[in-house]
Structure 1
């Protein structure tokens, strides 16, 4: 059968949901084994998993061959636009700041806040790392902040551990909220609801992370001495992440939170100092502590106010562009309600089209939506491109240089683009064939307890794929299906996939490899894994408890629409 209307069957193997689930999970197992055990390159592992999903969709689920392939093509298209369109332009802006030296100015600006390395860990690993996660994601903040910490005197393995543990709370809103945009795309749930719900989970986690960083740097004594700025940083970050995701702008959540928390720590350390100041000592000696500050400062160049302003300018321009584009009705406009209609404002060129050639029905006989949104102007990636163009004269970059930088960025990201497109293709094939729904119906058998288990699925997905975006594309529909059959909030469970997923990032093979390479510890990923595994599990347990309580009368007032 090559082309026909396709109706999903969720128990194609002997009419058994359990047996069908054992088959439906095979593409995910293949992906996880190839990535985590065989250590195949991510795009090759995803390609093999896509092939397995197509074979199962056709031979087991009786999906027409062209429908299976077309579903994968639809997913790949969504992987490029709007997903990687965001990442490409975000990293282009970052690369421009590196080429012009303004990134170094920004680094020195953060490092000058305090001589105390516990404060530096908070400012650089958490606040600045969150800013990098907001704009680029995909391992960029881990690589950058670990190198910056080493430059300030941290030991390599500690710098890498700090960068990995800090790269948690901001991840769900990373790359201008790419994971949440993906989650909305694959589940069909409103982006605003998902962003708001995640913004009621990860901010609670953010209160704990800076305290964890201080403990990594200086143990219990460090927490006793440095809990005021650490707690302040986490609280401010959490509050502004909540406010931005629920009331202002989901794509800007991490940018606003990172800048606000960094400013809070900066102002606080101007009027407060710990009894002792901590400085990392060379290997084989005791860490240095001096009374009332006075630790040895890493020598830095003194930048002018104009240089510092230009270093911060790209992020300020991004904020202004996004605020105008998302909060000024005359500019924002209204998107078309359905295919064939036109929008207004930035949405005037937006087109919603039915993906050609797909005619899919669920088991009840109702049509499955197969629309594709082409919001050329209002897409977050396009707004980033506009912000980058506006930043060029501020950074002193000409059109030719900017274009060459864009070409290098595309070359830098070519395998990342391919990987994301393939992972999204895998997710869409599994979703449209009914494989994901089969798994969702099966895990829904856990009933109310599924709320506790939900974050673990996201954690597992990110631990293996290294990406909250990929995890959401793989498990988003499964979470929604399980929620609907377990009488739980679909928005809560989908958000829990993303919020739980952020805690798997620090133990993912990709991120461990990035961190190890950045600090010159190639081949010692195992040592680093053991350093951060405990933090990942402790934070995951905390998230599981939080989500479970949000599914009960205890905290259900936190659930969007609950």
Structure 2
């Protein structure tokens, strides 16, 4: 049995079909924002609503719909769930062995101001991890670090999700940009240039916006010099790298420049008043007395050792992101290097791609081509395995026994059972909506907004894609060609439309069910996903509207910005 996607399944009418396709998304918004369901309950019930909609409204055979959900669930576990497990595990090892106390002290030696700590860790360090690894690692690790420093878990998760807006389009060594070259035929360098002429405006603004959310406008103005150093250094590097080097390095270079610029700047400038959270203000005097009578002094060697797990992590995920090495890890290397050939053999043995029963090549696109459906299991190639390698090395750095190492891992698996269930169910929901054609139906409806309005709605299409799929790469693959076709038909530059899909998508990351589940898992808020969703939704909408305005202006009065 074959299933041909029908984008006008309801009364042969695109508008009606789009309204019905919205039902699972609207249900999820209701479940999280109004009903405040626990994440795994909202995820499982949304998956159920998506299955019913796909089967009854879009006439997808029940067996195919269920199997597409299993395909998504497997992807939710590997690589996404695996990255979360290993990221939080590495953090837990540093806490259990007391090394995180030294890390906390070293950050406090740079600044005790909570606002600047957020800029250093949520914005700069999180962007570096996004550039090197992507998926859930940046939010998981940076949020856990902030919680360890004393941030409220909900605020730590929310701030890291919002800060992650700046680097997402160039995440994981530029994969969102390089991947969309295939379906659109537009050179990745051209898309990189255009995104690099949109996103830096957001990147320069995000640090200030973060502090306003955190402490209010007045407190943000108090540290304006630091905010400008953080945001402007990041934005300028992002523009230069994306326009002259390509899509692979903007995040890594921007993050490093921003991080080092901040650390150097803080040696010469500190805020006149130290900002602490309200609960800390009451303890400030006591803490000051305690600090002055029993100061903590650590040698540079102790500080280096404490940070070593995260330095090893940085090295391993950077290595895993190198394209040639990545090919070897997944068993696709065809070169002559002996070491890479040996890794390739191991990678080939640990890479599996079994067909999804009753689904593979059974769903037919409107152009008549069948859609491949496989369970993609790249065990060695997953960024989670790179993080596990860092955790193994950390075992020797922090001198924890294998028994306690394994006990910590077991405790963590028990803690994360519901978050992993949440991730599996929401990725399953994404796969069902894609296989049934519901995502494309929504995209085609947005594309009908016309020559005047489509440039504004073009980023919103990317935002919707990332909300559904949880990935800027997936959203670009899903809607990139549609953006190009629509733009060409209305006289809009297709490079601008495809770039807008990626730039708009970055604002959808913070409300994606996957990202919400990942952030809550990292900070110990399993079951509180609805609270985090309510925290981020308004910021997500505000930021995508900004990208829409930028794209509209670039299509009308700022056309000279298009490469």
> Structure 1-normalised TM-score?
0.75
**Preserved contact between residue 88 and residue 409 of structure 1 (Cα < 8 Å):** yes
Q: Which moved more, 1:76-85 or 1:203-212?
A: 203-212
Paired with 1:430 and 1:367, the residues of 2 have a C-alpha distance of: 17
Q: Which moved more, 1:227-236 or 1:72-81?
A: 227-236
Paired with 1:516 and 1:94, the residues of 2 have a C-alpha distance of: 11
Deviation at 1:207, TM superposition (A): 1.9
Paired with 1:100 and 1:456, the residues of 2 have a C-alpha distance of: 45
Deviation track 1:373-421 (CA, whole Å, cap 9, x = no partner) reads 3322222111111222122211212222221211122112111111111
Q: Which moved more, 1:87-96 or 1:372-381?
A: 372-381
Specify the alignment match of 2:69 in structure 1: 72
Specify the alignment match of 2:490 in structure 1: none
Specify the alignment match of 2:486 in structure 1: 486
Specify the alignment match of 1:170 in structure 2: 164
Structure with the bigger percentage of helix: 2
* Count of aligned pairs between the two proteins: 523
SS at match of 2:162: coil
Distance 1:80 1:282, change over 3 A: closer
Specify the alignment match of 2:502 in structure 1: 495
Deviation track 1:111-143 (CA, whole Å, cap 9, x = no partner) reads 111355654453355446667887745677557
Specify the alignment match of 2:358 in structure 1: 357
Distance 1:454 1:86, change over 3 A: farther
Specify the alignment match of 1:373 in structure 2: 376
Specify the alignment match of 1:320 in structure 2: 315
Deviation at 1:51, TM superposition (A): 1.9
SS at match of 2:371: coil
SS at match of 1:333: helix
Deviation at 1:432, TM superposition (A): 0.9
Paired with 1:281 and 1:44, the residues of 2 have a C-alpha distance of: 32
Gap runs ≥5 in structure 2: 334-339, 488-493
Deviation at 1:312, TM superposition (A): 1.4
**Preserved contact between residue 86 and residue 178 of structure 1 (Cα < 8 Å):** no
Of 298, 303, 307 in structure 2, the residue corresponding to residue 303 of structure 1 is: 298
Q: Which moved more, 1:357-366 or 1:316-325?
A: 316-325
> Structure 2-normalised TM-score?
0.74
SS at match of 1:19: helix
Q: Which moved more, 1:227-236 or 1:26-35?
A: 227-236
Distance 1:58 1:502, change over 3 A: closer
Distance 1:387 1:54, change over 3 A: same
Paired with 2:376 and 2:162, the residues of 1 have a C-alpha distance of: 30
Paired with 1:546 and 1:301, the residues of 2 have a C-alpha distance of: 49
Distance 1:212 1:297, change over 3 A: farther
Corresponding position: 1:415 with 2:415? no
Deviation track 1:164-184 (CA, whole Å, cap 9, x = no partner) reads 44642325768x958998999
Quick one: higher RCO (CA 8 Å, sep 6+), 1 or 2?
2
Corresponding position: 1:63 with 2:60? yes
Deviation at 1:452, TM superposition (A): 2.3
SS at match of 2:110: coil
Distance 1:64 1:163, change over 3 A: closer
Paired with 1:310 and 1:434, the residues of 2 have a C-alpha distance of: 51
Gap runs ≥5 in structure 1: 151-155, 289-294
Corresponding position: 1:148 with 2:149? yes
Q: Which moved more, 1:480-489 or 1:362-371?
A: 480-489
SS at match of 1:356: coil
Paired with 1:515 and 1:404, the residues of 2 have a C-alpha distance of: 18
